[in-house]
Chains A and B, each alone.
Chain A
Amino acid sequence: MFPEITAAKISWRAYLLALGGCLLTTLAALPLRHLLDLANMVMLFLLTVFLVTLKLGRGPGVLSAVVSVVLFDYVFVPPHLELIPSDAQYLVTLAVMLAVALMTAQLTAGLQTQTRIASSREQQTRRLYQLARDLAGAASRWEVQTALDGYLGDSGYRAVLHLLDEGVAPQHSTADAELGDFVQDVIRRAKTLECPKCNHALFVPLLAPSRVNGVMVVTRSDDKARTPHEEQELFETVASLIAIAIERLHYVEVAEETHLQASAERLRASILSALSHDMRTPLTALVAMADSLTLTGRVAVASTTETATAIRNQALAMDQMLGNLLEMARLQSGKAVLRKEWQLFDDLIASSLRQLKNTRGSHPVRVHLAPDMPLVKFDAVLMERVVVNLLENAFKYTLPDTPIDISAAMEGEWALLTVCDRGPGFPSGRTEDLFELFVRGTPESSKTGMGLGLAICRTIVEAHGGTIQAHNRPEGGACVQIRLPLGIPPALDHEEMMS
């Protein structure tokens, strides 16, 4: 990638070719010696020197200059086949010829070098431009490093980024500690330094407009390449491109964080308002009912048993709400770990129904399981929370004795679980909003709740790579459908599984 600008490796073959060229010219000129003037013969040799230099470079050019003069003298200058010319004036011819040949060689070689430098510069610029374009599209530090690796390719150099935000280089050994010190030094002085002890590694600071972002450490992976120090200017250019990309990423992160904070702030506000309304109302009812137990006799109140049952139900409803709230907090904190295992839908439905045996009332529940439902991978505890929430909604918002249908089926690569009721259905046109936090179908409903249930369902289902959708049945009633990816269930290799 960085073409050699200095004297190219010139093998002995080039010198041999130069020698051959001179001999060929001599042989070609031999039959012409009676036709041409000696001065014109010289021109043939000068052309040879020029061509040799052009094709083979400076060294062979100089060789051909010297050899040409010697051959010319030996073969063409009288006396023939003798080195000492008969006439002293030929000495001038030979001297001028040598001088012109050497100068030709020198100038041609110089021009060649210039051309090579120009073309390598152009190539470098193109590569830098490509790097700049890659860096502009990089969305993470990892992609910045990838772009850099792509730029270096097999150039014989390797570069590692030590970014300030990530803490500089883990220090496992004394060698690493030394490297860490060096990095710190470079950052403090904001100056490129070479580390002679570590295989001439070059430490280039990543200087962005507002601060030093870190250090790029360039090492040679190919010992034949020049030391990174000799390419310092180039690496400093690369470092400045990277510094700008890192700076841009930094500001993107800052912007995202601010956005997150703002939405967390909004969420907190809605939690507080939901808590104060949706928890206080049932609490007030609890206090009133407990009071009514001690007031018996003075005021006409419902029977003790009835009141006690109401208190119990209210408390349990609040416990369910609190459970949802805690679950949501846990899921949103990002610390919840899915304990996914291969599960059966019949198990999930059975355990969800059993959890609700007290709230179910007189609703008949019909379970429709497609035959041969395969194992599906999910976190049983969380998914049970989803099904319980859906069933609870169905029990809560429909009239007693109306049936609830749960069905499980497969469709393509998805496992479907649908809960349907025969109630009033969802308010039309708002089925998407219902899965938002603290959104309720009817905002000031008399039913206890705070608009958490469906939001948790969506969070859990989406964490499993699935989707959840609500719709109303044409014949009346609400349906919520969960889709979970089927995956490939493990083979049952136990001997008895086949029986």
Chain B
Amino acid sequence: MSAPITILLVEDEPQLLRVVRSVLEGEGYRVFEADTGRRGLIEASTRKPDLLIVDLGLPDMDGADLVREFRTWSDAAVLILSARVEESAKIVALDSGADDYLTKPFGIGELLARVRALVRRIAKSSEGSSRLTFGDVTVDLARRSVTRNGEAVHLTNLEYRLLVLLASNPGKVLTQRQLMHDIWGSAYAENSHYLRIYVSRLRQKLEPNPAEPVHFLTETGVGYRFEM
């Protein structure tokens, strides 16, 4: 069996640190901890964690700066914990390379679900499959075809590219800026309504109930997240 997944937890509130650590260890992860940003960076370089969980409001440095620095030398998954209701702080952290965020207060169930999704992604990324499957939809990357319940679904070129970008990053929050940049190019950065219209079209074509989507999820004010 392979080595256990390691998680580095950077959080300055001791109660929260204690309970999150015990829950993660209960799930079989190996957990390291740090209570300041500086300690966190040192731990990260020595422990080489598979997943970094960072509180945005650290006493000694901005969590977003820590993420940016960590990203310069690591591809590991990053989950942000934020007490701020301000969307802008989250967006900065996500644009700096974080994969997902949780707003305090969050439930343990939700935390574990996010951690599992990110860990699964680490495992998946090494496989390199030519096929994506979610719900009753199958995307054949080699043949550029999409089928739902075995029936072909027609997608325009842009719809297809958006679908592949979202679906190949399951569980990851993609900010409006990242999506606009990757699909339409930076010239269209101001036209974020294109993105909304396209996501709405993907929902109409691929969601079981477009009014209450389960795959193409809106992170209001931030961007979109794809769930398997």
Q: Which residues of A pack against B, CB within 8 Å?
A: 312, 315-316, 319, 323, 326-327, 339, 341-344, 346-347, 349-351, 353-354, 358, 365, 367, 369, 375, 380-381, 384, 489-490, 492, 494, 496-497, 499
Q: Given A490-B191, A496-B158, are A339 and B199 also a contact pair (CB < 8 Å)?
A: no
Cross-chain contact A496 with B196 (CB below 8 angstroms)? no
User: Is B1 among interface residues, defined by CB-CB distance under 8 A?
Assistant: no
Say which one of B112-120, B140-148, B206-214 lies at the interface with A: B206-214
Q: Given A315-B105, A343-B193, A492-B194, are A351 and B220 also a contact pair (CB < 8 Å)?
A: yes
In the bound complex, residues from chain B placing their C-beta under 8 Å from that of A367 are: 211-212
Cross-chain contact B157 with A326 (CB below 8 angstroms)? no
In the bound complex, residues from chain A placing their C-beta under 8 Å from that of B217 are: 351, 354
Q: Given A316-B105, A319-B105, are A341 and B192 also a contact pair (CB < 8 Å)?
A: yes
Q: Given A326-B85, A367-B212, A490-B191, are A344 and B197 also a contact pair (CB < 8 Å)?
A: yes
In the bound complex, residues from chain B placing their C-beta under 8 Å from that of A349 are: 211
Contact of B196 among A312, A347, A384 (CB under 8 A): A347
User: Is B107 among interface residues, defined by CB-CB distance under 8 A?
Assistant: yes
Minimal beta-carbon separation of A403 from chain B (angstroms): 14
Task: Across the A-B interface, give the 10 residue pairs with the lowest CB-CB distance, nearest first.
Answer: A342-B193, A381-B221, A367-B211, A351-B218, A351-B220, A384-B220, A496-B158, A496-B156, A380-B220, A344-B196
In the bound complex, residues from chain A placing their C-beta under 8 Å from that of B197 are: 344, 375, 492, 497
Contact of A490 among B107, B193, B213 (CB under 8 A): B193
12 pairs, CB–CB < 8 Å, chain A vs chain B: A316-B105, A344-B196, A346-B203, A349-B211, A350-B218, A353-B212, A367-B211, A380-B221, A381-B220, A384-B221, A492-B197, A494-B188
- Closest B residue to A379 using CB positions: B221
A375 to B217, CA, bound (A): 19
User: Is B184 among interface residues, defined by CB-CB distance under 8 A?
Assistant: yes
User: Is B168 among interface residues, defined by CB-CB distance under 8 A?
Assistant: no
In the bound complex, residues from chain A placing their C-beta under 8 Å from that of B87 are: 381
In the bound complex, residues from chain B placing their C-beta under 8 Å from that of A492 are: 194, 197
A346 to B204, CA, bound (A): 11
Cross-chain contact A350 with B184 (CB below 8 angstroms)? no
Minimal beta-carbon separation of B75 from chain A (angstroms): 29
Q: Given A315-B105, A381-B87, are A347 and B212 also a contact pair (CB < 8 Å)?
A: no
Cross-chain contact B221 with A339 (CB below 8 angstroms)? yes
User: Is B169 among interface residues, defined by CB-CB distance under 8 A?
Assistant: no
A2 to B221, CA, bound (A): 61
A323 to B83, CA, bound (A): 11
A374 to B51, CA, bound (A): 42
Q: Which residues of B pack against A, CB within 8 Å?
A: 85, 87, 105, 107, 156-159, 184, 188, 191-194, 196-197, 199-200, 203, 210-213, 217-221
Contact of A346 among B105, B156, B210, B221 (CB under 8 A): B210
In the bound complex, residues from chain B placing their C-beta under 8 Å from that of A326 are: 85
A316 to B105, CA, bound (A): 8
Q: Given A326-B85, A343-B196, A494-B184, are A312 and B107 also a contact pair (CB < 8 Å)?
A: yes
Cross-chain contact B105 with A347 (CB below 8 angstroms)? no
Cross-chain contact A346 with B194 (CB below 8 angstroms)? no
A358 to B199, CA, bound (A): 25
Residue in A350, A381, A497 with the greatest tally of chain B CB atoms within 10 Å: A350
Contact of B212 among A339, A350, A490 (CB under 8 A): A350
Q: Given A315-B105, A384-B220, A496-B157, are A347 and B193 also a contact pair (CB < 8 Å)?
A: no
In the bound complex, residues from chain A placing their C-beta under 8 Å from that of B184 are: 494
- Closest A residue to B216 using CB positions: A350
In the bound complex, residues from chain A placing their C-beta under 8 Å from that of B85 are: 323, 326-327
A476 to B194, CA, bound (A): 40
- Closest B residue to A369 using CB positions: B211
- Closest A residue to B218 using CB positions: A351
In the bound complex, residues from chain B placing their C-beta under 8 Å from that of A490 are: 191, 193
Cross-chain contact B211 with A346 (CB below 8 angstroms)? yes
- Closest A residue to B196 using CB positions: A344
Cross-chain contact A341 with B212 (CB below 8 angstroms)? no
A183 to B210, CA, bound (A): 68
In the bound complex, residues from chain B placing their C-beta under 8 Å from that of A316 are: 105
- Closest A residue to B194 using CB positions: A494
Residue in B105, B188, B192, B220 with the greatest tally of chain A CB atoms within 10 Å: B220
Contact of B200 among A323, A346, A380, A494 (CB under 8 A): A346
Minimal beta-carbon separation of B195 from chain A (angstroms): 10
Residue in A326, A346, A489, A490 with the greatest tally of chain B CB atoms within 10 Å: A346
A221 to B192, CA, bound (A): 50
In the bound complex, residues from chain B placing their C-beta under 8 Å from that of A344 are: 196-197, 200
In the bound complex, residues from chain A placing their C-beta under 8 Å from that of B199 are: 347
A385 to B157, CA, bound (A): 35
In the bound complex, residues from chain B placing their C-beta under 8 Å from that of A499 are: 156
- Closest A residue to B87 using CB positions: A381
Q: Known A-B contacts: A351-B217, A353-B212, A496-B156. Give 8 more (CB < 8 A).
A: A347-B196, A350-B211, A365-B212, A369-B211, A489-B193, A490-B193, A494-B158, A494-B188
In the bound complex, residues from chain A placing their C-beta under 8 Å from that of B193 are: 341-343, 375, 489-490
In the bound complex, residues from chain B placing their C-beta under 8 Å from that of A312 are: 107
A183 to B199, CA, bound (A): 62
In the bound complex, residues from chain A placing their C-beta under 8 Å from that of B200 are: 344, 346-347
Minimal beta-carbon separation of A206 from chain B (angstroms): 45
In the bound complex, residues from chain B placing their C-beta under 8 Å from that of A351 are: 217-220
- Closest A residue to B191 using CB positions: A490
A343 to B193, CA, bound (A): 6
Minimal beta-carbon separation of B203 from chain A (angstroms): 8
- Closest B residue to A384 using CB positions: B220
A365 to B184, CA, bound (A): 35
- Closest B residue to A341 using CB positions: B192
In the bound complex, residues from chain B placing their C-beta under 8 Å from that of A381 are: 87, 220-221
A315 to B106, CA, bound (A): 11
